[in-house]
Amino acid sequence: MSSQDLEAVLAEAFAKARELYAERGFQRRVGFGKKPALINVDLANAWTRPEHPFSCDHMDDQIIPGVQRLLEACRKNNHPVVHVTTCYQNINRDDSYTDMGLWHKKIPIEYCDENNEDVWAIDSRIAPVDGEHVLVKKRASSFHGTSLGGYLRSMGVDTIVVTGVTASACVRETICDGIADGFRPIAVRECIGDRVAGAVEWNLFDIDAKFGDVESVDTCVDYLMGIQGDRSTS
C-alpha cells in the first residue's frame, strides 16, 4: 500500500472516529491563550537532514518552511522561542551511569554524542537568534527532567505552539506533558513529522481528540501576529 493509499484509508477511519468522539464529548477545544511560546522539538540535523538514523520525511518541502514562517512571526512580535534538541555526555552503553538511561535499549540514541555537535545542533535554516533558548533534553518529552516548565511559567506563558519530530514520540510526549503542566498545547499540523507512513496522521488525530488542538500553520501565524509579546528586562 502506498503512503497516499494509507492516508486515504486513515482519513476515512478518522472521519468515523471523529463522529464517535463527538457523540461522547471528546475533541473539545483548549484554545489559544494570551501569552504564547514556540517550542521546536528536535529540529536538529540528526532529524532534519538526510542519511541520519533519525531523519524524518517532509523536512525540506513542508516542515522547515512552515517553522520559518512561525519564527518570523514570533521574532516580529517578541514571543519566546525554545529550540529543543537531544544529546548525551556518556554514550557508553555498558556503563550503568550513562545519561542515556534505558532508552538506548530501544533506539540508537548513542548516535547523539555531545562531542559531535553537528549531529545535535539546530538546523541552520531555523537557527536560534540572540535571546532564543536552546534546551537539551535526555528523554522523549521536552518537559521531563528539564527546566522548560519553570522557564515558561517565569515569563507567564500559557500557550505552547509545538512543532517538530517525531509525531509518535517526542512531539506527542511534549504535548501530553504540556497540558499536564497547565499549558495550552497547539500542534502545528504542517510542521510536525515522522519517519513512518501514517504516524503523523494518527498521532495528530489522537492529540486533537485528547491532549491539544491541531491547527494549521496559517492559523498559528495569524495568532502569533495578532498578539504582541512583552520582552522586558529588569
Catalytic positions are 170
Nearest to 126 by CA among 49, 186, 32: 49
Cβ count within 10 A of residue 189: 19
